[in-house]
C-alpha cells in the first residue's frame, strides 16, 4: 500500500458512501485510478466491507457496556468468545491478554436486559461452563468512536 492508497483509504473511512469522483477530487487522483485503487484495496482484503454507522439510542439500544470475562477452567477462550458473539446486542468480542480473557462491547435496551445477559440463570454469561467471573462497565458518555485510522505511510 502506497501513499495514494492511503489517501483513498482515509477518504473512504470519512464517508464510504461518497462517489468515486468526489474521492478522486479530494485525493487529486484521476477517477479511473481512484476506482482501480478502491477495487485493489477490496481485493486485498484491506477494505473488508462497508456498513452504516447507527445511532443506537434511536433504535432502542441506549445502554452501552463492556463485559469483561475471566475463564477459570480448561474451557476454550475462543469457544466462549464465539458463544458470546452470537448473543443479541453483542457488538464486539475480543480475546485479550491481561486481567481479562474476553472483553465484549454490548448495546442493549436497558440495564435490566444487561443484567439478564450476565446473570440470567441457565443462559446468562455467568452461568456458562468455564466462566469464572465477569466484570461489567456501563458507558455514561462516548467521546470518540469509529474514528478513522491513519495508515502509517500518510501523515495527517
CATH number for 116: 3.30.70.920
Give the Cα separation of 93 and 101 in Å (integer): 11
C-alpha to C-alpha distance for 24 and 4, rounded to whole angstroms: 10
Q: Where are the alpha helices (DSSP H) in the chain?
A: 3-14, 20-27, 31-43, 77-85, 111-119
pLDDT recorded at residue 1: 82
Taking 70 as the pLDDT cut, the residues of the chain under it are 153-156
Q: Is residue 133 part of a domain?
A: yes
User: Are 78 and 7 within one domain?
Assistant: no
Residues 87, 38: one domain? no
Q: What is the pLDDT of residues 16-30, one digit of tens each?
A: 999 999 999 999 999
Same domain as 127, residue 61: yes
Among 67, 68, 69, 74, which residue's Cα sits nearest to residue 130?
A: 74
Q: Which three cell numbers stand for residue 1?
A: 500500500
C-alpha cell at 142: 462516548
- 51 inside domain: no
C-alpha cell at 145: 468512536
pTM (predicted TM-score): 0.83
Q: Residue 154 has what pLDDT?
A: 59
Amino acid at each position: 500500500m502506497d501513499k495514494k492508497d492511503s489517501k483513498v483509504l482515509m477518504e473512504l473511512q470519512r464517508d464510504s458512501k461518497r462517489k468515486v469522483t468526489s474521492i478522486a477530487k479530494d485525493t487529486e487522483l484521476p477517477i479511473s485510478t481512484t476506482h482501480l485503487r478502491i477495487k485493489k484495496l477490496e481485493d486485498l482484503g484491506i477494505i473488508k466491507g462497508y456498513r452504516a454507522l447507527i445511532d443506537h439510542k434511536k433504535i432502542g439500544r441506549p445502554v452501552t457496556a463492556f463485559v469483561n470475562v475471566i475463564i477459570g477452567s480448561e474451557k476454550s477462550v475462543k469457544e466462549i468468545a464465539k458463544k458470546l458473539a452470537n448473543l443479541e446486542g453483542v457488538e464486539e468480542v475480543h480475546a485479550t491478554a491481561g486481567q481479562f480473557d474476553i472483553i465484549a462491547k454490548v448495546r442493549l435496551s436497558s440495564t435490566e436486559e444487561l443484567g439478564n445477559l450476565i446473570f440470567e440463570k441457565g443462559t446468562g454469561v455467568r452461568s456458562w461452563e468455564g466462566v469464572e467471573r465477569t466484570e461489567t462497565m456501563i458507558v455514561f458518555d462516548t467521546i470518540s468512536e469509529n474514528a478513522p485510522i491513519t495508515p502509517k505511510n500518510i501523515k495527517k
